[in-house]
Amino acid sequence: MTGNQDRYSLKRLVDIVARLRGEGGCPWDRKQTHESIKPHLIEEAYEVVEAIDTHDMHGLVEELGDVLLHVVFHSQLASEEGRFDVGDVIKAIEDKMIRRHPHVFGDASVSGADEVLRNWERIKQEESSGADGSHDEAPDGILGRLPKSLPALMRAHKAQSMASRVGFDWTRAQDAMQKVSEELKEFRAAMDEGDSASIAEELGDLLFAIVNVARHLGVDPEVSLMNTVDKFVRRFTYIEASASGRGVRLEDMSLDQMDELWDEAKRMER
């Protein structure tokens, strides 16, 4: 599948989407808005991640195409509103990549990837203040651009990473782990008090601290939890199938019986 980049142009896809949206086009496509297709973009992004996780290169080609379709579709919608088109999107990302890599496209030098990240954040701040002549709206500080729509674990990880780039961070994973112990103690105290508001707050603090440990260890907490959910689904499905094979309803089984099947599923995975 290599060597295809010169065979197709983005213009062909742009023309296809424009036709779908135009007179005599597709009724479904014609009625869509930025808001109506927003959930689909999120779904497609997760399907890209799944293709990567399963090393499915054929699937990755397809899922990346689906994401690209959404980029073009949103651009087409904006073009119809007279706001911007796909050319503006391409130029914006080209300019950003050049601007934020002065060590590649300019005469700056860096000592490694960590300095690249620090420079990236510094340049973002300059862009926000208009120091580079850009027109970005100024965010509320370093974390002003943190997307609110990210899943909570991802948002926590990103917030911590952004703060870390300016030195606000634990030095070692062990220090972050000590914070987990502190937050766990506070969570238990909230449970003993039975105050639901305090329990919710302390649980959030505990989860945030665990994300910090994961980040220090180089583990993506979103992926880690997703893998655990998948594992739970596999093992619970085994319990269901085993119960069905014995002609027994799950509702009629004891917890000990289900735990026994759960352990069977664990042994089969080893």
Question: What does the pLDDT read at residue 257?
Answer: 95
Question: What does the pLDDT read at residue 142?
Answer: 81
Q: Which two tokens stand for residue 19?
A: 């036709």
How far apart, in whole angstroms, are the C-alpha atoms of residue 267 and residue 64? Answer: 37
Chain centroid offset of residue 132 CA: 29
Question: What does the pLDDT read at residue 6?
Answer: 57
Question: What does the pLDDT read at residue 270?
Answer: 84
Question: What does the pLDDT read at residue 193?
Answer: 96
How far apart, in whole angstroms, are the C-alpha atoms of residue 222 and residue 213? Answer: 13
Question: What does the pLDDT read at residue 3?
Answer: 54
Tens of each residue's pLDDT in the chain, 270 residues: 455 555 678 999 999 999 999 999 999 999 999 999 998 998 999 899 889 988 999 999 999 999 999 999 999 999 999 999 999 999 999 999 999 999 999 998 989 998 898 888 788 878 876 655 555 554 567 888 888 888 899 999 999 998 998 889 999 999 999 999 999 999 999 999 999 999 999 999 999 999 999 999 999 998 899 899 999 999 999 999 999 999 999 999 999 999 999 999 999 988
Question: What does the pLDDT read at residue 130?
Answer: 64
Question: What does the pLDDT read at residue 2?
Answer: 52
Q: DSSP of 118-167, one letter per residue? A: HHHHHHHHHHHHTTTS--PPPPSSGGGG--TTS-HHHHHHHHHHHHHTTT
Question: What does the pLDDT read at residue 117?
Answer: 83
Question: What does the pLDDT read at residue 131?
Answer: 56
